[in-house]
Amino acid sequence: MYEFAVTPAVTQLRRPGVIITEVTPASLAEELELEPHDRITRVNGRPVRDYLDFRFQTAGETDLIFQVKKPDGETVEIEFDRDESEDFGLMFEQIVPRQCANECLFCFCKGNPEDARPSLFVRDEDIRLSFLYGNYTTLSSITEDEMKRIIEQRLSPQYVSVHATDLKTRAYLLGVEESRADISDKLDRLLAADIELHAQVVLCPEINDGAILEKTLRDLAAHYPKVISTAVVPVALTRYNTDKRLTRVTPEFCRRTIKEVEKLQKEFRKTLGVTFAFLGDEIYIKGGIDIPSRRHYGNYPQIEDGVGMVRSFLNQFERMLQKAEPPALAGGTKSRTHPSAMLPREIYGRASGPPAYAGGSPFGAPAYAGGSPFGASAHADGSTLFGTFLTGEMFAPILRGQIEKFNHLTGSRLAVLAVPNTYFGGDVSVAGLLSGKDFLAVRDKIVGDYVIIPSVTIKSDEPIFIDGMSYDQLKRQFPVPVYDLDTKGLLNFLAR
């Protein structure tokens, strides 16, 4: 779930241009006397709507004229030249997402508690964010301007929620008329212009499964390689989704779907050379079927959508284990408590740098700066680790299996606790949607000197959980220090 700052979209529509938020000291922008709050409205006479436009209008240009609206209303023109690769030293406001006009049966907004943060109700449907962050759009209300923009500015690949190529089914799922649900012409036009697409199917039992799913996957595969891949992810219903038309995903349904899709995957590998249609990790986990091998996922084309994350994690963990030293070799066998682990304060900065692979991790993408248990880890000097990982019910058995191997190898006493999601309830078992209260509910079951939670549970621009509890509030209520880690941080922590 991608969460947005809540700014009325209408504000940006009324004001053309893109607002500067930061100017790098000693940069070209500073030399040009550009300042935060200035709004660049035109570049070389062409209008600028957002920073994507700015990037597009300035790319490769060395002779430039900026039209700039100052905060006091004055408009100035700045004419200058630059070296082709010279950076401006500018940071811009975020794109305010365009909202969708659908009424999807399974929309996550309908699954939110009433008192959820307003930003969780933002129904984004924005081709710019699709290009920038891999957010899926349905293309059902895309305007002619947006179509032209994708093609002109090469906003490729786009991520499209197809759900079903059977028109009646698609219209039913999106809650719109068939004329609006029909995107066949738009898809043809994008593909003809060599715009690449990744597709998604949110799989709803008894609606777009079985023969409808097979037709969808075959129809999309017919456009490979321009349609690069398709993710099939199961609908996840919270306890607030009470729509009687929706059926919950069961283990039996998962096993049946795996069987049906496996046949197609084999066929696609034979005819296209790639798996092409990828089932969400949850389908394998819920069905009790082993996660496919590394080869199945190729270059992980749907990792942004969480598909293949478990395989990627398992492989990284195994590599880390191969390098881990048994305690006897490292010179120590006794589990001990590192003194710094007992101090409820932040010892080191959190793990930094990009995730090990694009698009996040099963343990969570980096969120907000918090503490790190690295100070508590003395693994490399022969001591062992003693603490508890908290994660979602879906990922917990997988992490536990790996941690048990790690404990066996190193003599550590790390535990993994599955945290039930009481905030959303229903089928929600992913780590990323755990709330502060969910963590507190398992406080009495933790063991060891510290607790590690997935970074992804903390809002990216503010240290709060999905239920509004602050990270500090949570830390105060735990008897031991609480740290947050993403996958890379977790592996680094264990490898030390």
d(CA 49, CA 13) in angstroms, rounded, equals 9
112 binds ligand SF4 (CB under 6 A): no
Take residue 255 and report the two structure tokens written for it. 């096993």
Tell me which of 23, 40, 104, 183 binds ligand SF4, using CB under 6 A: 104
Which is closer to ligand SF4, CB of 129 or CB of 458?
129
d(CA 110, CA 53) in angstroms, rounded, equals 33
Q: Which range binds ligand SF4 by CB under 6 A, 41-49, 57-65, 95-103, 416-424? A: 95-103
Tell me which of 48, 100, 142, 403 binds ligand SF4, using CB under 6 A: 100
102 binds ligand SF4 (CB under 6 A): yes
380 binds ligand SF4 (CB under 6 A): no
Instruction: Report the SS3 class of residue 481.
Output: coil
State the minimum distance, in angstroms, from the CB of residue 98 to ligand SF4: 11
107 binds ligand SF4 (CB under 6 A): yes
Tell me which of 49, 55, 82, 123 binds ligand SF4, using CB under 6 A: 123
Which is closer to ligand SF4, CB of 139 or CB of 378?
139
What is the number of helices (H) and of strands (E) in the chain? 18, 14
Q: Which range binds ligand SF4 by CB under 6 A, 17-25, 99-107, 193-201, 425-433? A: 99-107
Tell me which of 6, 13, 91, 109 binds ligand SF4, using CB under 6 A: 109
Q: Which range binds ligand SF4 by CB under 6 A, 100-108, 247-255, 354-362, 430-438? A: 100-108
State the minimum distance, in angstroms, from the CB of residue 96 to ligand SF4: 15
Q: Which range binds ligand SF4 by CB under 6 A, 102-110, 144-152, 260-268, 361-369? A: 102-110
494 binds ligand SF4 (CB under 6 A): no
Q: Which range binds ligand SF4 by CB under 6 A, 60-68, 98-106, 223-231, 397-405? A: 98-106
Backbone angles phi, psi at 287, to 5 degrees: -80, -5
What would you report as the CA-atom Rg of the chain, rounded to the nearest whole angstrom? 25
d(CA 168, CA 182) in angstroms, rounded, equals 9
Q: Which range binds ligand SF4 by CB under 6 A, 104-112, 180-188, 290-298, 402-410? A: 104-112
d(CA 208, CA 116) in angstroms, rounded, equals 29
Take residue 201 and report the two structure tokens written for it. 């199917």
DSSP characters over 258-323: HHHHHHHHHHHHHHTSS--EEE-HHHHHHHT-PPPPHHHHTT-TTGGGTTTHHHHHHHHHHHHHHH
125 binds ligand SF4 (CB under 6 A): yes
180 binds ligand SF4 (CB under 6 A): no
Task: Note whether 480 and 417 are within 8 A (CB).
Answer: no
State the minimum distance, in angstroms, from the CB of residue 125 to ligand SF4: 5
Task: Note whether 373 and 362 are within 8 A (CB).
Answer: no
Which is closer to ligand SF4, CB of 137 or CB of 412?
137
Taking residues 50 to 89 in sequence order and writing x for each that binds ligand SF4 by CB under 6 A, - otherwise, the string is ----------------------------------------
193: which DSSP letter?
A: T
Tell me which of 138, 241, 257, 361 binds ligand SF4, using CB under 6 A: 138
Which is closer to ligand SF4, CB of 103 or CB of 462?
103
State the minimum distance, in angstroms, from the CB of residue 236 to ligand SF4: 12
d(CA 126, CA 146) in angstroms, rounded, equals 9
Which is closer to ligand SF4, CB of 103 or CB of 318?
103
432: which DSSP letter?
A: G
State the minimum distance, in angstroms, from the CB of residue 105 to ligand SF4: 9
Residues 6+ apart with CB under 8 A from 319: none
Contacts within 8 Å (CB) and 24+ apart, 347-354: 347/371, 347/372, 347/374, 347/375, 347/376, 348/372, 348/374, 348/375, 350/455, 350/483, 350/484, 350/485, 350/489, 351/485, 351/486, 351/488, 351/489, 351/492, 351/493, 353/488, 354/488
Residue 199's nearest CA partner among 273, 302, 70 is 302
List contacts with ligand SF4 (CB under 6 A): 100, 102-104, 107, 109, 123, 125, 138
